Amino acid sequence: QSVLTQPPSVSGAPGQRVTISCTGSSSNLGAGYDVHWYQQLPGTAPKLLIYANTNRPSGVPDRFSGSKSGTSASLAITGLQAEDEADYYCQSYDSSLSGSGVFGGGTKLTVL
Amino acid sequence: QVQLQESGPGLAKPLETLSLTCTVSGGSINNYYWSWIRQPPGKGLEWIAYIYYSGSTSYNPSLKSRVTISVDTSKNQFSLKLNSVTAADTAVYYCARVERYNWKPRAMDVWGQGTTVTVS
């Protein structure tokens, strides 16, 4: 069981908006640790999508956005495209685990 | 453009020690944290450990008793040793660069392509 909780799957039609939630606790997201999001396309290494809750690295389309409030965070994808079909992971750090890194269980996004 | 490349044996026998190395090219290992992450077949990502270039470390508590992470700044490399491996350690192992922000680790912004390790 992952320290950060994500829905196993979400889906949406092309052009739609989807959101992926990431729920933590008072020892990680609620303790002020930032959340980061990664996209993993089939058969490839993860890629940083959102860092420090809301920031996009250079080259990431603005269709991707992140937010965080209290012990929860969300990744939103607007204007869904077929190429967005991938696994998405949230990640943070946890003070109850001596500051070690933690991942969510991952969410499979299916573009219908 | 910083690139990371994992190297090591693709096959390990049960109870042996697995050793992996990540070579950093196109940039310096200094002033960053460096991490190992693994992904068992068909499963999610599991954070293993990170090390600061100066040597300070943090480990996943569930693996801490079996894992050692180290850094060699002269070779621009960092390494992972995992003792007493079992079939449950079969996974793709990734190395990654971890941003430093306010002297603390933040996001993993550069990843290696991953190396598959099978324990059998």
Residues A55-87 pLDDT 10s = 999 999 999 999 999 999 999 999 999 999 999
Task: Summarize the confidence of residues A49-55 as an average pLDDT.
Answer: 98
Are B60 and A99 a contacting pair at CB < 8 A?
no
Give the pLDDT of residue A1: 85
Interchain CB contacts (distance < 8 Å): A and B: 69
| Closest to A104 (Cα-Cα) out of A18, A14, A25, A17 | A25
**pLDDT range class, residue A47, cuts 50, 70, 90:** very high
Share of chain B above pLDDT 90, in %: 98
Give the pLDDT of residue A98: 87
Task: Summarize the confidence of residues B30-54 as an average pLDDT.
Answer: 97
Task: Summarize the confidence of residues B7-23 as an average pLDDT.
Answer: 97
Check pLDDT > 90 for residue A12: yes
Give the pLDDT of residue B59: 96
Nearest to A103 among B47, B50, B114 (CB): B47
Spell out a b/e string for B70-88, using b for 16 or more CB atoms within 10 Å of the CB, else e: ebeeeebbbbbebeebeee
Task: Summarize the confidence of residues A26-52 as an average pLDDT.
Answer: 97
Structure tokens at A94: 């946890």
Distance between A81 CA and the closest CA of chain B, angstroms: 23
Q: What is the pLDDT of residues A85-109, one digit of tens each?
A: 999 999 999 999 988 999 999 999 9
Cα A66 versus chain centre, distance: 8
**pLDDT range class, residue B4, cuts 50, 70, 90:** very high
Is the CB of residue A66 less than 8 Å from the CB of residue A75? yes
Integer Cα distance of A17 and A35 in angstroms:
21
The DSSP call for residue A42 is: T
Check pLDDT > 90 for residue B84: yes
Residues in B touching A89 (Cβ below 8 Å): 44-45
Task: Summarize the confidence of residues B7-13 as an average pLDDT.
Answer: 96
Q: Does B103 touch chain A (CB under 8 A)?
A: no
The pLDDT mean for chain A works out to 97
Nearest to A100 among B58, B99, B112 (CB): B58
The pLDDT mean for chain B works out to 97
Task: Summarize the confidence of residues B13-31 as an average pLDDT.
Answer: 97
Give B26-57 as a DSSP string: SS-STTSEEEEEEE-TTS--EEEEEEETTS-E
Check pLDDT > 90 for residue B13: yes
Q: Does B2 touch chain A (CB under 8 A)?
A: no
Give the pLDDT of residue A39: 98
The DSSP call for residue B17 is: P
The one-letter code for the residue type at A101 is: G
Please name every residue paired with B81 in a beta bridge, in sequence order, or none if there are none.
B19, B68
